[in-house]
Structure 1
Amino acid sequence: MLRPQNSPTREMVTLDGTWRFAVDWDRTGLTDNWQNGPLTGHLDAPVPGSINDLYHDEKIRNHVGYYWYQREVRVPRGWDGERIFVRLESATHEGTVFVNGTKVVEHAGGYTPFEADITDHVTAGETFRLSVAVNNELTNSSIPPGEIIELEDGRHQQEYKHDFYNYAGLHRSVWLCSVPAVRVDDVTVTTDYRGATGAVDYAVSVTGGDDAHVAVRVLDEDGTEVARANGASGTVEIPDVTLWQPGAGYLYDLVMEVSQGSELKDSFTQKVGVRTVAVEGKQFLINGESFYFTGFGMHEDHETLGKGHSDAHMIQDFQLLEWINANSLRTSHYPYSEDIMDYCDRHGVVVIDETAAVGLNWAIAGGIMGGSAGGTFEPGHVDDSTQTTHRQAIRELVDRDKNRPSVVLWSIANEPDTAAEGARGYFEPLVELTRELDPSRPVGFVNVMFAPAGACTVSDLFDVLMLNRYYGWYVQTGDLRTAEASLEKELRQWDEQYAKPTIMTEYGADTVAGMHSIYDQPFTEDYQVAFLDMYHRVFDRVECMIGEHVWNFADFQTKYGYARVDGNKKGAFTRDRRPKAGARALRQRWAGKLGR
């Protein structure tokens, strides 16, 4: 699914702004056809934005079920004769879209885009009513999974298995788009280079015209044409190529033009970065050179906005990543906004791209947050219906991000119960699917410390090992000497068993900003620094380690619990982006790693 763009043949109009808003308290909105008229009540909601932290009524924040958005939309009068689409970049976790009362599309999965051709339902120059019903419920069949609990008084509560707040709403932009009937429907790009010559393999899918002709041109960043070819698939060679590199995200424009006879029907431009990715032995190679990951697991999480996208907050976060000498991030634990991914492509930020498959672990149910009893891979928990949804989540992620040079590694799950019976049968087909969809990138998953070396049943299936470890925090708390020995022992076991490149994708300690002690006292800024220093000493002694992603970039909101006072405090930065002592320690270490 191509992201909308303005081109000589395409136009797009943002539908972001303030929408009418209503809570479907009794789950009657769909049966009572709320889409057929204006929403009642006086509430408004911003798009993009989460709804949970906006209103004084706590019942809205805690509502389990449907919320409704609505607005009037005018179709530009110049769009007569074009195909008209509405596109939602996300609806968390399920969205149903209506145009003038007619359902045009529904989609499950809260972090990937979906769209509908509404040409037959609207008229150029006139207005229509756009309604979106958003359901925030999580079940065992969703990704991420959860359970709905009905209390004795009739209220519903959402139990979920992940340790971040279940923000809901239209978190990303909504667009109205026009495209020609004969058009580029999809493109897949892979790149290589030999010496100074770059190679771009492309495959263009065209809809609406079997006799259409495809021509492609490659433009450099100055707009100069450097290569061209004819045909819907092939290879274009770029002389004196400028490679896409970490920290230097050079992008070419692959301009695809579809014609019938002498008439141009469509023009679409795909950004292309020429680079290679490979795993060799214990090394991760980008453009044939060993790459060491420095950075964070992050969250789309800000005060008031929740998971709503904001360009201003995005720029601030990436400026802080640059300041701290981070060269990479993991999209923990869901696909991030396409605006964030575009930024990574432009600026050379390396990305581990992760599905929303977090919480596939009934044994820990979100780490320390408790949960229902029972095994993970059993009917009603993680079962065939979960796997079906997981398959679709992988397909949608790869389809969205397959052409991005910043994406170097697919992460298909975070902290699943891979020591349990049934894990291999669940994951092996998913690994095969990911490789089938994209043979050009390595595949990994993130291992939880309850499935240590020798106990995990699936790590041999993957190209790169990614580990989350909390020696010195959740275990051996405050005893960094013992924690150091335990961490090194396990990392050496992984190295001996698999000899694969290994990234520490999570390590960190909750840290209250401004709290200090002369002792190794947990929750102090001093302990955060000592904790990080201990891990780094171990990393430098173990050969297979090729990266370190601290948990987390910034403090973030979680569900309530006795161990979470206003959220998770493991950030190097506070939730309002003020640096803790650990941030300066990381800045110094990573400057050395990057040779600065």
Structure 2
Amino acid sequence: MLKPLATATRELLRLDGLWDFAVDTAVGERPWAGPLDTRLEAAVPASYNDLFTDSAIREHVGWVWYQRRVRVPRGWSGDRVLLRLDAATHEGRVYVDDVLVAEHIGGYTPFEADITERVTAGQEFRLTIGVNNELTNVTIPPGTIIVTEDGRRQQKYHHDFYNYAGLARSVWLYSVPPAHIQDITVVTGLDSTTATVQYEIETSEPAAVRVRILDAEGAEVAVGQGASGTLRIEDVTPWRPGAAYLYDLVAEIVDGAEVRDTYPQSFGVRTVEVRDTRFLINGEPFYFTGFGKHEDTPVRGKGHDDAYLVHDFQLMEWMGANSFRTTHYPYAEEVLDFADRHGIVVIDETAAVGLNLAVQGGLTGRPHPPTYSEDTLNDDTRAAHARAVRELIGRDKNHPSVVMWCVANEPSTHEDGAREYFEPLVELTRKLDPTRPVCSTASLLTTHENDRIADLFDVVCLNRYYGWYLANGDLTTAEALMDAELRAWVDKLGKPVLMTEYGADTLPGLHSVWDQPWTEEYQVAYLAANHRAFDRCEAVVGEHVWNFADFQTSPGIHRVDGNRKGVFTRERRPKAAAHALRARWTPLSGRKPSTDA
């Protein structure tokens, strides 16, 4: 699915702003059938949870409704009119006047509807969008809904971030010609100074297609005919980490000399490969430095914010971070576009987090139900997971910044049924995109001895908290445990190891002269102990600190106003660890630290 763009043949309107808003318990059974009976207004894009002072709205479980009136530009007569939602978390239904035109399950990928037959150029229509935040055993991510004795519905889930919901990304109205380009796939190869560019173009109907490749200055460097083919770029400028260079593949539907539709798909020329225990970009070893992040800011929740986008990337550049993982869901497309333009490397992750019922057993000490069974994660869950993989790759396949797909975060991979659940998903990922490595991250409960699926992946990705959840306050023991585990994984699989999470909760302004957990000094010492272990293991190809910034979680005794593992506060003020990481990462420039440490 192509991102809406304004071109010589297409126009678009961003429908962001204030919408009428209501929860389902405050309106009738058919809220789309007329004007929404409410005094509330909600901002789009934003999660609705933190906008209002009513806790019943913040903790609402079920459907909420957004509504506004939209006027179709009068110049769109004769074009197809499409309505697109960049995301609706976690389920969306779209009504034009009183007609359902689209529905979608999955909270972080786009969907759209052709509404040409329902609207008229120059006239208004009523647009109503329902959004449902419910998580069950067959959704991605999964969850459970319980009903209290007094009848209140409560959402329970196993992922450690707040279940923000609503229209957190933009809503668009856009036009395309009757015969139009529907999708573009670009795959690049690199041989010395020559690039190959394989392309496939899908059109709404059979049509003649012309392709032109333009360099960053707009000069034409290759041309082709037909909906698929391979072009060559001589004296190519590759896309490199920290040195982004983008080309445009301009696809055109032509009728003689007339261009009926045109769409420019940006791309970068770069290759990705895992060889032995190295991760290679353009044939050169690459060392990841950076973070797991979250789309999480005060008031907006998971709502996309261009100002925070720019500032977060500035802070990463200031620190020498060259990469991040989209923990734990696909981020807004604007984030990947920005990473493409600025040479930041991305590990792109599905929303498959919390697939681990063993965690509740670990926290409570009680037996837990099996993670994989007919009553828990089952064939329907895997089907939803497969849909999430398809939609992630379908949306993000052309981004040069994306170098690896992550199919899940911390699933229970030591239990019966794990391999049967994951092997088809890994096969699907490789079938959809054979050009990028595939990974999943391993939780503390998954070890080199009990894991059942790590051999399916190209890189061993470990989330480890020695010195925090284990050996808390004892960094000598923590460092020894990390050393031993790294050696064990390398001895078992002989694959690169990427530390995808390691971190310690830290209260800004709390200080101590001792190794006192929660202090800024302990966070610095904790990171240093981990880094010494990483530097001693040649197979380690990178380090992603958990987390970039503090973020909101479900309230409870385990969290005080959210997760505090950020090296920045939620408002993006640096803790001492940010300066320590800057001193370590800035000199590296994507190279492995010296093993002399």
Q: Same fold (TM over 0.5)?
A: yes
Q: Distance in 1 between matches of 2:162 and 2:72?
A: 37
Residue 106 of structure 2 contacts residue 140 of structure 2 at CA under 8 Å; is this kept in 1? yes
Q: Distance in 1 between matches of 2:358 and 2:373?
A: 12
Would you say 1:465 and 2:478 are equivalent positions? no
C-alpha deviation, 1:307, in angstroms: 0.1
Report the CA distance shift for 1:340/1:368 in structure 2 as closer, same or farther (over 3 A): farther
Q: Distance in 2 between matches of 1:365 and 1:222?
A: 55
Counting aligned pairs with the same residue, the percent is 59
Report the CA distance shift for 1:312/1:371 in structure 2 as closer, same or farther (over 3 A): farther
Matched residue type, 1:256: A
Matched residue type, 2:347: I
Q: Tell me the secondary structure at the aligned position of residue 447 of structure 2.
A: coil
Tell me which residue corresponds to 1:94. Answer: 91
Q: Distance in 2 between matches of 1:16 and 1:181?
A: 26
Residue 558 of structure 1 contacts residue 568 of structure 1 at CA under 8 Å; is this kept in 2? yes
Report the CA distance shift for 1:183/1:452 in structure 2 as closer, same or farther (over 3 A): same
Report the CA distance shift for 1:231/1:367 in structure 2 as closer, same or farther (over 3 A): farther
TM-score (norm 1): 0.98
Would you say 1:333 and 2:328 are equivalent positions? yes
Would you say 1:313 and 2:305 are equivalent positions? no
Matched residue type, 1:89: D
Q: Which of 572, 588, 591 is matched with 2:586 structurally?
A: 591
Q: Which of 446, 456, 476 is matched with 1:481 structurally?
A: 476
Q: Distance in 2 between matches of 1:371 and 1:74?
A: 57
C-alpha deviation, 1:366, in angstroms: 11
Tell me which residue corresponds to 2:571. Answer: 576
C-alpha deviation, 1:262, in angstroms: 3.3
Would you say 1:285 and 2:283 are equivalent positions? no
Q: Which of 268, 292, 299 is matched with 1:273 structurally?
A: 268
Tell me which residue corresponds to 1:175. Answer: 172
Kindly provide the CA deviation profile for residues 283-316 of structure 1, in whole angstroms up to 9, marking residues without a partner as x.
0000000000000000000000000001011101
Matched residue type, 2:104: H
Count of residue pairs brought into register by the alignment:
591
Residue 506 of structure 2 contacts residue 566 of structure 2 at CA under 8 Å; is this kept in 1? yes
Residue 96 of structure 2 contacts residue 125 of structure 2 at CA under 8 Å; is this kept in 1? yes
Residue 48 of structure 1 contacts residue 171 of structure 1 at CA under 8 Å; is this kept in 2? yes
C-alpha deviation, 1:592, in angstroms: 2.6
C-alpha deviation, 1:248, in angstroms: 1.2
Would you say 1:562 and 2:557 are equivalent positions? yes
Report the CA distance shift for 1:325/1:369 in structure 2 as closer, same or farther (over 3 A): farther
Report the CA distance shift for 1:366/1:44 in structure 2 as closer, same or farther (over 3 A): farther
Tell me which residue corresponds to 1:17. Answer: 17
Tell me which residue corresponds to 1:229. Answer: 224
C-alpha deviation, 1:33, in angstroms: 1.6
Tell me which residue corresponds to 1:388. Answer: 383
Matched residue type, 2:21: F
Q: Tell me the secondary structure at the aligned position of residue 335 of structure 2.
A: helix
Matched residue type, 2:140: I
Residue 162 of structure 1 contacts residue 367 of structure 1 at CA under 8 Å; is this kept in 2? no
- After superposition, where does 1:93-492 map in structure 2 within 5 Å? 93-208=90-205, 210=206, 212-365=207-360, 373-492=368-487
Aligned CA RMSD, in angstroms, stands at 1.4
Q: Distance in 1 between matches of 2:403 and 2:282?
A: 11
Residue 245 of structure 2 contacts residue 341 of structure 2 at CA under 8 Å; is this kept in 1? yes
Report the CA distance shift for 1:259/1:385 in structure 2 as closer, same or farther (over 3 A): same
Q: Tell me the secondary structure at the aligned position of residue 478 of structure 1.
A: coil
Would you say 1:508 and 2:518 are equivalent positions? no
Q: Distance in 2 between matches of 1:472 and 1:368?
A: 17
Residue 163 of structure 1 contacts residue 369 of structure 1 at CA under 8 Å; is this kept in 2? no
Tell me which residue corresponds to 2:595. Answer: none
Q: Distance in 2 between matches of 1:595 and 1:346?
A: 18
Q: Distance in 1 between matches of 2:3 and 2:49?
A: 28
Q: Distance in 2 between matches of 1:520 and 1:51?
A: 40
Q: Distance in 2 between matches of 1:15 and 1:111?
A: 18
C-alpha deviation, 1:249, in angstroms: 1.3
Residue 245 of structure 2 contacts residue 268 of structure 2 at CA under 8 Å; is this kept in 1? yes
Would you say 1:493 and 2:492 are equivalent positions? no
Matched residue type, 2:290: G
List alignment gaps of at least 5 residues for structure 1: none
Residue 160 of structure 1 contacts residue 365 of structure 1 at CA under 8 Å; is this kept in 2? no
Q: Tell me the secondary structure at the aligned position of residue 334 of structure 1.
A: coil
Residue 507 of structure 2 contacts residue 518 of structure 2 at CA under 8 Å; is this kept in 1? yes
Q: Distance in 1 between matches of 2:530 and 2:588?
A: 15
Q: Tell me the secondary structure at the aligned position of residue 253 of structure 1.
A: strand
Kindly provide the CA deviation profile for residues 314-337 of structure 1, in whole angstroms up to 9, marking residues without a partner as x.
101000010010000000000000
Would you say 1:85 and 2:89 are equivalent positions? no
Matched residue type, 1:90: A
C-alpha deviation, 1:372, in angstroms: 9.1
Q: Which runs of 4+ in 1 moved over 6 A?
A: 369-372
Q: Distance in 1 between matches of 2:362 and 2:293?
A: 17
Kindly provide the CA deviation profile for residues 566-587 of structure 1, in whole angstroms up to 9, marking residues without a partner as x.
0000000000000001000100
Q: Distance in 2 between matches of 1:455 and 1:488?
A: 18
Matched residue type, 1:130: L
Tell me which residue corresponds to 1:7. Answer: 7
C-alpha deviation, 1:236, in angstroms: 1.3
Q: Distance in 2 between matches of 1:165 and 1:377?
A: 24
C-alpha deviation, 1:240, in angstroms: 1.2
C-alpha deviation, 1:373, in angstroms: 3.4
Which stretch of structure 1 is more off in the superposition, 193-202 or 458-467? 193-202
Residue 289 of structure 2 contacts residue 590 of structure 2 at CA under 8 Å; is this kept in 1? no
Matched residue type, 1:394: V
Residue 160 of structure 1 contacts residue 366 of structure 1 at CA under 8 Å; is this kept in 2? no
Q: Distance in 1 between matches of 2:271 and 2:114?
A: 36
Q: Distance in 2 between matches of 1:91 and 1:372?
A: 35
C-alpha deviation, 1:593, in angstroms: 1.9
C-alpha deviation, 1:263, in angstroms: 2.6
Q: Distance in 2 between matches of 1:190 and 1:226?
A: 17
Q: Tell me the secondary structure at the aligned position of residue 347 of structure 2.
A: strand
Report the CA distance shift for 1:590/1:370 in structure 2 as closer, same or farther (over 3 A): farther
